[in-house]
Structure 1
Amino acid sequence: MSPLPGRRREHEAISELLAGGGGALVFHGDPGIGKTALLESAAGQADGFLVLALAAAETESTLPFAALHRLLGAVVENASGPPASQALALARLLESGPAGESRFATFVRLLRLLRRVAGERPLLCCVDDAHWLDPPSLEALAFVARRLRGDRIAMLFGWCDETVPVSFGVRGLRLAPLDDRSSREVLRDLVPVADVAGALGSIAMGSPCVLTDLARSLTPEQARGEAPLPQVLPPEHRLRRAHRARLLRLPADTRWLVLLAAADEELDVDGLAAAAAVSGVDIGALEPAESSGLLRVDGAAIRFVRPLVRAFTYHESTMVQRRSVHSLLARSVDPRTQPLRHYLHRALAAYGPDDGLATRLERAALASHGRHGAASRALERAAELTGDAAIAAARVVAAARHAWRAGEPHRARMLLRRVRPATVPARVRAVSAVLEAEIGLRTGAAAPDVDALLAVADELAGHDRGLAIGALARAGEALWVSGERSRYLDVARRALASRRPGEPPIVELACEHLATLSATLRGAHRRAADALGRTVTSVSTLDNAEAFTQAGLAAILCGAELEAHRLAGRGAAIARANRDLSVEPRALEIAALAELAMGRYDDPTTALRGLELARESGQEAVASGQSALLALHAAILGDRAACLRRARDAREAGWARAVVEWALAVLDLVDGRHPEAFARLRAATGAHVVLRVAATPHIVEAAARCGVRPAGVAALRVFDAWATTTANPRWLALSARCHALLAEDNGEADEYFRAALEQHARSGADLDRAWTALLYGQRLRRQRRPAAARVQLRGALDTFERLEARPWIDRTVAELRAAGHHVEHRQPPAVEALTPQQVQIARLVADGATNREVAAHLLLSTRTVDHHMRNIFAKLGVRSRVELARLMS
Structure 2
Amino acid sequence: MLVGRARECAAIGALVARARGGASGAVVVVGEAGIGKSTLLLQAREAAGSGVQVLATAGAEPERDLPFAGLAQLLRPLLGHLDALPAVQADALAQALALRPGGTGEAPARAGERFVISAATLGLISRAAEERPLLLLVDDLHHLDRPSVDAILFTARRLLTDAVAVVLATRPGAAVGELVADLDRLEVGGLSREECDALVVSRGLSATQAERLHAVSEGNPLAALEMVRTPDLLARDLGEIPVPRLIEEAFTGRLGSLPPLARTALTVAALAGDVDLTTLGRACATAGSDLAHLADAEQAELVDLGLDRVRFRHPLMQASLVQATAPPLRRQLHRIIADALPTGDLDRRAQHLSAATIGPDGEAAAVLDAATASAARRRAYAVASQWGERAAHASEDPEERTRRLALAGEHAWLGGLADRALEIFGEAVAGAPTGPARRRALALRGVVGARCGSLVEARALLLEASGPVAADDPDLAVVLLAEAVYLCVYLCDGAGARTVVARLDALRETATAPRSRLLGDLAAGIGRLMTGDGEAGATQMRRAVAAAGTGDLIDDPRWRGWLLLPPIWLRDSGDSRALVDAVVLDARERAALGTLPFLLFHAARDDATTDRWTSAEGAYREAIALARESGQRTDEAISRAGLAWLLARRGCEDEMRAESKEAERQCVRSRLNFGRAWLRFAAGDLAAGLGRYEEAVEHFRAQQSLVRRFRVVDADLSPAPELVECLVRVGDLDGARAEASAFALLADTKGQPWSRARAHRALALAGVTPDARFAAALVEHAHSPDAYERARTQLAFGAHLRRTRRRSEAREHLREALTTFDRLAAAPWAAQASAELAATGERVQRRAPGAEQPLTPQELQVARLLGEGRTTREAAAALFLSPKTVEYHLRHAYIKLGISSRAELAARLSEDAELRAPAG
TM class by smaller structure:
0.5 to 0.7
Residue 498 of structure 1 aligns with which residue? Answer: 507
Pair 1:627-2:640 in alignment: yes
1:398-797 equivalences in 2 (<5 Å): 398-419=407-428, 421=430, 423-445=432-454, 447-448=456-457, 454-501=463-510, 503-505=512-514, 507-520=516-529, 521=531, 522-523=533-534, 524-533=536-545, 536-537=548-549, 540-541=552-553, 543-559=555-571, 563=576, 566=579, 570=583, 577=590, 581=594, 583-603=595-615, 604-650=617-663, 651-652=667-668, 653=671, 654-672=673-691, 673=693, 675-676=697-698, 678-686=700-708, 687=710, 689=712, 692-695=715-718, 697-699=721-723, 701-702=725-726, 706-707=732-733, 708-722=736-750, 724=752, 737-738=761-762, 740-741=764-765, 744-749=768-773, 751-752=775-776, 755=779, 763=785, 765-797=786-818
Equivalent pair of 2:640/2:660 in contact (CA under 8 Å): yes
Residue 361 of structure 1 aligns with which residue? Answer: 368
> How big is the shift at 1:631?
0.8
Instruction: Provide Cα deviations, 1:55-88, integer angstroms capped at 9, x if missing partner.
Output: xxxxxxxxxxxxxxxxxxxxxxxxxxxxxxxxxx
Determine helix, strand or coil for the equivalent of 2:558: helix
Determine helix, strand or coil for the equivalent of 2:32: coil
> How big is the shift at 1:382?
0.8
Pair 1:826-2:826 in alignment: no
1-structure distance, mates of 2:323, 2:746: 64
Which range moves more in the overlay, 322-331 or 666-675?
322-331
Instruction: Provide Cα deviations, 1:843-866, integer angstroms capped at 9, x if missing partner.
Output: 8996779xxxxxxxxxxxxxxxxx
Structure 1 residue runs without a partner (length 5+): 1-25, 35-126, 140-158, 165-234, 296-301, 832-842, 850-878
Residue 12 of structure 2 aligns with which residue? Answer: none
Seen in structure 2, the aligned counterparts of structure 1 residues 448 and 502 have a Cα distance that, compared at 3 Å, is: closer
Equivalent pair of 2:564/2:580 in contact (CA under 8 Å): yes
Seen in structure 2, the aligned counterparts of structure 1 residues 508 and 747 have a Cα distance that, compared at 3 Å, is: closer
2-structure distance, mates of 1:499, 1:394: 28
2-structure distance, mates of 1:715, 1:616: 41
Equivalent pair of 1:790/1:819 in contact (CA under 8 Å): yes
2-structure distance, mates of 1:310, 1:819: 83
In structure 1, give the amino acid aligned to 2:457: P
1-structure distance, mates of 2:410, 2:811: 60
Equivalent pair of 1:665/1:680 in contact (CA under 8 Å): no
Residue 814 of structure 1 aligns with which residue? Answer: 835
2-structure distance, mates of 1:678, 1:791: 30
In structure 1, give the amino acid aligned to 2:716: V
Residue 30 of structure 1 aligns with which residue? Answer: 31
In structure 2, give the amino acid aligned to 1:719: A
Instruction: Provide Cα deviations, 1:530-554, integer angstroms capped at 9, x if missing partner.
Output: 4423662466356543322234335
> How big is the shift at 1:626?
1.2
1-structure distance, mates of 2:791, 2:688: 15
Structure number with the bigger relative contact order (C-alpha 8 A, sep ≥ 6) is: 2
In structure 1, give the amino acid aligned to 2:743: A
2-structure distance, mates of 1:694, 1:504: 33
Determine helix, strand or coil for the equivalent of 1:748: helix
Superposition RMSD on alpha carbons, in Å?
5.4
2-structure distance, mates of 1:548, 1:647: 29
Equivalent pair of 1:347/1:381 in contact (CA under 8 Å): yes
In structure 1, give the amino acid aligned to 2:741: V
> How big is the shift at 1:379?
0.7
Pair 1:379-2:403 in alignment: no
2-structure distance, mates of 1:411, 1:530: 39
2-structure distance, mates of 1:635, 1:411: 36
Determine helix, strand or coil for the equivalent of 1:462: helix
Which range moves more in the overlay, 650-659 or 380-389?
650-659
Equivalent pair of 1:565/1:594 in contact (CA under 8 Å): no
Equivalent pair of 1:519/1:525 in contact (CA under 8 Å): yes
Equivalent pair of 2:680/2:700 in contact (CA under 8 Å): no
1:287-302 equivalences in 2 (<5 Å): none
Equivalent pair of 2:406/2:428 in contact (CA under 8 Å): yes
Match of 1:131 among 188, 191, 198: 191
Which range moves more in the overlay, 713-722 or 487-496?
713-722
Seen in structure 2, the aligned counterparts of structure 1 residues 663 and 237 have a Cα distance that, compared at 3 Å, is: same
Determine helix, strand or coil for the equivalent of 2:847: coil
Equivalent pair of 1:793/1:816 in contact (CA under 8 Å): yes
Residue 209 of structure 2 aligns with which residue? Answer: none
Equivalent pair of 2:514/2:552 in contact (CA under 8 Å): no
1-structure distance, mates of 2:341, 2:253: 27
1:285-324 equivalences in 2 (<5 Å): 320=329, 324=333
> How big is the shift at 1:373?
1.0
Determine helix, strand or coil for the equivalent of 1:689: coil
1-structure distance, mates of 2:855, 2:580: 32
> How big is the shift at 1:380?
0.5
> How big is the shift at 1:630?
0.8
2-structure distance, mates of 1:567, 1:390: 42
Which range moves more in the overlay, 623-632 or 559-568?
559-568
> How big is the shift at 1:395?
1.0
Instruction: Provide Cα deviations, 1:696-746, integer angstroms capped at 9, x if missing partner.
Output: 55355446655222322332343345454xx7xx66765665565456335
1-structure distance, mates of 2:311, 2:848: 51
How many residues were matched structurally? 620
Equivalent pair of 2:522/2:541 in contact (CA under 8 Å): no
Seen in structure 2, the aligned counterparts of structure 1 residues 530 and 824 have a Cα distance that, compared at 3 Å, is: closer
In structure 2, give the amino acid aligned to 1:817: A
1-structure distance, mates of 2:723, 2:701: 9
Seen in structure 2, the aligned counterparts of structure 1 residues 803 and 420 have a Cα distance that, compared at 3 Å, is: closer
Q: Give the percent of matched residue pairs that are identical in Structure 1 and Structure 2.
A: 22
> How big is the shift at 1:308?
11
Equivalent pair of 2:251/2:320 in contact (CA under 8 Å): no
Instruction: Provide Cα deviations, 1:368-410, integer angstroms capped at 9, x if missing partner.
Output: 2333212111211111221112211221122112112211122
> How big is the shift at 1:632?
0.8
Instruction: Provide Cα deviations, 1:203-223, integer angstroms capped at 9, x if missing partner.
Output: xxxxxxxxxxxxxxxxxxxxx
2-structure distance, mates of 1:306, 1:593: 53
Seen in structure 2, the aligned counterparts of structure 1 residues 819 and 136 have a Cα distance that, compared at 3 Å, is: farther
Equivalent pair of 2:715/2:746 in contact (CA under 8 Å): no
Instruction: Provide Cα deviations, 1:720-778, integer angstroms capped at 9, x if missing partner.
Output: 45454xx7xx6676566556545633542563365367557xx3x54444433322332
In structure 2, give the amino acid aligned to 1:711: E
Equivalent pair of 1:733/1:757 in contact (CA under 8 Å): yes
TM-score by length of 2: 0.56
> How big is the shift at 1:661?
0.9
In structure 1, give the amino acid aligned to 2:415: A
